Chain A
């Protein structure tokens, strides 16, 4: 197992490096290809659209080296990235890591809490529904999941704010000043994650419940709780663990809308702001952060699956 695990990690690290290179290149190319003058966008973001003048744009172009040939800019930028230099934001002048790090903390906090809340909501519901496929609980959970899945975070969050914050004044509207402020964002995020998770858990459970091993255990007279824990739980949870990277991607997508609605200054907001301002160093750093986070989630899921499923270990395969 040691050798295959090492090979797995090496392969994943190599993949992560490749993905990082592709993402960085795509960020660079996308910002260059967008319509409009990159230096003008940066200057407008820095000084305000109404105040930016042609002279300011030209000064900024020279200062940031945007007047060099694009390939030269790309080469210099890649060389800096390879040395771990993310540079400074073109708009604020602050080091990119200082821009990203505190916001990443907020986003990860909300994301982790949302994921936890989704697991707490969806796993029991999905697993319970999967015990009796076609039963009233299964149909009820499916209907609720369909309802939540069809409500965009922005709309659902808006409804929650109107109801719980504006009408009832139970929870704050926006911000992150206290733990109370995070309740609605976390609930909204969880509501976006829970439907898919519940369905996956339900299918895993239904399959595990109908498996030969489970039927055999029943025939042997094994106690139901022991069947649940030792025979059903592991195969039922395998698809849930495999689904975690998809959830991580959903979290990434979800917090852009949620941060905007709840005025959380996380990396979703930073990404929007940086894209609007064509702040290349920040956009690239965020692209890399997203790619690495997803890579880490995938690797974590893969390692967990290897631990749970002996078939993956036996052949040394990398799933």
Chain B
């Protein structure tokens, strides 16, 4: 355990206290001689998630600090998708639509020093080249005006700028967080909790920061453990060793719920599982084939049988939680194998002797790359393989490392793949829609989608500042994605969380944007 002497004395209670041990335990008797007696420390909130704090650099693991309420960006997002000021108390854009002014609130770092505009500018300049969303801002200049105002000037009108400032790489750290060369070394930030001790890359202990600018947290101390294995997270929740366990597999969530030892909460997050295809290949170039393949998929069956959550079948790419981007008026994606066969006939793909369709000597077959880092994905791929075969399309499922996928997408060797992709690296999915559906440098989407209208719509969207202008553009983009199917949505993603009876259930708010675990708002039961 690494203590942070610059902050305060280390706390003495263990991050993960052992359960009370009954006298009848004979098997472990020798260990009794070694261990000091331990009991659950009621005041420490124990949180568990898969994410390790492997680097002090915000560009790499800033999301861990932000989710725990240790660090803050200028702007945050509410669970309903609207933006809220964190270190920036307000912002405005000037009539030129190029100059943005962010007014900082009077906040202090965990070492007691004040947050100032020059510090914010220095931080953002350091991380900007490596931060996905911040680097997308067409920035002409960035400067501080006085101690409280940060000014951005863009080269072109760029309406999503405040949303880009929610990028976790842009968390603001104190000068004392950096070494002499300007590299981040310690998490000295501004959030409602400040770090008291670090335990390698898997343990963080924190306490409520008394000088926090906002409401003081009801929970005064927290202990975070990174537990990469989902089954172990589930066991910690079942054994009562975690007060909140995030990112649980559906089967484990079901088991915990049935055990009655913890409550399970679920939220749909904008990380659809979808089929990406190489649209330059003859099998997928024709939109009628893509629609037919979409019609052949039994999404409700997959969601019920494999994901154990029937409501997570995708009716369009983005889920209802992204209310601005989910259009309830769009005809939903559905299953209709007969219609799929008609479309394939119409597109000239005729069934061969073995039932597999072909056109001009090209069989309707493809290899489906399946990243094996999510356990449900290979199983879903096998089910889709069987469903597509009923309409005359054959796929070979090829599980492999997810890292092989972007390279295969770029060099054109990827034929199709089933993967999960987040659309909210920034709260506005436009930040992902642009690289994925315009241009030709996709890493996680279908190469070869060339749609001039989509390009025009996204450009218009970036330059639109009024919601009245933006809403119809969003609807049209969603409609194109639904009818052209550059990717075939299969299911949405359920984020399952186990909450122990020690925590007041109504105080738990699941953030579909995965920016905040809401520790500052939690209350004890």
Contacts and interface: CB of A to CB of B under 8 A. Distances in A.
Contacts of A269: 228
A50 B422 contact: yes
A101 B130 CA distance: 30
Contacts of B228: 260, 263, 269
Interface residues of B, number: 59
Contacts of B241: 165, 172-174
A166 B22 contact: no
B425 interface: yes
Interface string B197-227: 0001110000000000000000000000101
Contacts of A260: 228-229, 232
Contacts of A59: 129-130
Most buried by A among B129, B238, B435: B238
Contacts of B38: 178, 180
A162 interface: yes
Contacts of B59: 47
Interface stretch (B291-299, B386-394, B401-409): B401-409
B130 A178 contact: no
A221 interface: no
Interface in B105-135: 129-130, 132, 135
A262 B236 CA distance: 10
Interface string B4-31: 0000000000111111111001011001
Contacts of A54: 410, 441, 443
A84 interface: no
A179 B30 CA distance: 11
A240 to B, nearest CB: 23
A40 B22 contact: no
B463 interface: no
Given A37-B406, A51-B132, A263-B227, A173 B235 contact: yes
B54 A36 contact: no
Interface string A26-40: 000000001111001
A53 B14 contact: no
Nearest to B54: A92
A53 B231 CA distance: 31
Contacts of B401: 34-36, 41, 276
Interface string B424-439: 0100000000010000
Given A92-B54, A92-B55, A265-B200, A53 B443 contact: yes
Contacts of B425: 50-51
Interface in A88-117: 91-93, 102
Interface in B392-421: 400-408, 410, 421
A40 B98 CA distance: 34
Nearest to B406: A40
Given A47-B60, A177-B14, A166 B403 contact: no
A51 B130 CA distance: 10
Most buried by B among A48, A169, A174, A183: A174
Contacts of A53: 132, 135, 435, 443
Contacts of A51: 132, 425
B124 to A, nearest CB: 17
Interface in B23-44: 25, 27-28, 31, 34-36, 38
B19 A172 contact: yes
Interface string A152-189: 00000010011011100111111101111101000000
A296 interface: no
A181 B407 contact: no
A247 B166 CA distance: 52
- The contact size tier of chain A is 35 or more
B60 A263 contact: no
Nearest to B132: A51
A44 interface: yes
A148 interface: no
A14 interface: no
Contact of A162 (B57, B63, B235, B407): B235
Contacts of A276: 401, 403
Contact of A175 (B225, B404, B435): B225
Interface string A265-284: 10001000000101000000
A78 interface: no
B444 A178 contact: no
Nearest to B20: A169
A174 B402 contact: no
Contacts of A144: none
A175 B57 CA distance: 25
B15 A177 contact: yes
Most buried by A among B59, B130, B225, B410: B130
A313 interface: no
B54 A158 contact: no
B235 A50 contact: no
A41 B19 contact: no
A50 B443 CA distance: 9
17 contacts: A34-B401, A35-B400, A36-B408, A41-B403, A44-B402, A44-B403, A47-B60, A48-B63, A54-B410, A92-B54, A92-B55, A92-B60, A170-B28, A171-B18, A172-B19, A178-B35, A263-B228
Interface of A: 34-37, 40-41, 44, 46-56, 59, 91-93, 102, 158, 161-162, 164-166, 169-175, 177-181, 183, 260-263, 265, 269, 276, 278
Interface of B: 14-22, 25, 27-28, 31, 34-36, 38, 54-55, 57, 59-60, 63, 129-130, 132, 135, 200-202, 225, 227-229, 231-232, 235-236, 238-241, 400-408, 410, 421-422, 425, 435, 441, 443-444
Given A44-B402, A179-B35, A180-B28, 19 more contacts: A35-B404, A36-B407, A44-B406, A47-B59, A47-B60, A49-B444, A53-B132, A53-B135, A56-B130, A158-B231, A162-B235, A173-B236, A174-B16, A174-B232, A175-B16, A175-B225, A178-B38, A265-B200, A265-B201
